[in-house]
Structure 1
């Protein structure tokens, strides 16, 4: 699997789900990464992401795409009851947060959409772009991890 092609296709897939209205930001990221990972979780796992759009249930706080990205990272690095915390979990989720904050100057939904009419096509395009960026960033990190990349490669066969 050629990483650059895969990362761009992941970006486009997540953006497409949101652009077409099939999912909101957090749901698009979770669904896209679950598919990338070869469906380790049933499609219904996206329901866990349904409370996060528009900054956690329309509260305007943490960007839903970032929340979805953190959940998607948990698909790869999370733990079950009784397991120790995966040493990669906290650093990679913090790096996602820091990447989006550096790129967009915030991870707060109301700050990210400030100056946009919320119902405008411009605001939606901006949020679609952030959603694609999160999905691509997560996919790139997962593909850089030899253990995860091997699982993805095996799931494709």
Structure 2
């Protein structure tokens, strides 16, 4: 997906493509949840960061290094939001960063009643991520987070798509 491609899609078609891309990166084993979200959004933005930026997300899968804490997809989504709303040394913090970060948190809370990997996946507790059902559940969350982030960036005018 390139920045040029983005302008050839309607918002809904583009969001479907973003979601499918993140899900396929996870499903194929190319990346885990956090990495798939970050990579997908980097591509969605036209790859403003080198492809190896995905390494920053490698410690977050399965709730931060398999600890079961914060959902890796949410971690990846937070990093992806930082690609657009984050700051560098000397810059003031954009209030929008906090607003979007909280909104992502609240979105996952409304969907799953938690942001905690072990809670969101509790029905598969003890399977150490081995069941195909758990993997599919996490793939779905990964796609939803990537879609949510992309939608927010479109809504905020950070990414332009074809007029509806």
**Unpaired runs of at least 5, structure 1:** none
**CA deviation profile, 1:25-75 (whole Å, cap 9, x unmatched):** 000000000000011100010000000000001110000000000000000
Please point out which of 55, 60, 63 is paired with 1:55. 63
Deviation (angstroms), 1:149: 1.6
Q: Which residue of 2 aligns with 1:149?
A: 159
Aligned match of 2:114: 106
Residues in 2 aligned to 1:98 and 1:56: alpha-carbon distance in whole angstroms: 19
Paired with 1:149 and 1:70, the residues of 2 have a C-alpha distance of 17
Pairwise CA distance, 1:141: 0.2
Does 1:132 find its partner at 2:136? no
Written as runs of structure 1 = structure 2, the 5 A alignment for 1:67-146 is 67-116=75-124, 117=127, 118-146=129-157
Q: Please give the residue correspondences for 1:12-51 in structure 2 after superposition, counting only pairs within 5 Å.
A: 12-51=20-59
Partner of 1:65: 73
What is the alpha-carbon root mean square deviation over aligned residues? 1.2
TM-score, reference length from structure 1 = 0.93
State the alpha-carbon separation in 2 of the partners of residues 7 and 131 from structure 1: 13
Unaligned runs of 5+ in 2: 1-6
The separation in 2 between residues aligned to 1:111 and 1:140, in whole angstroms, is 26
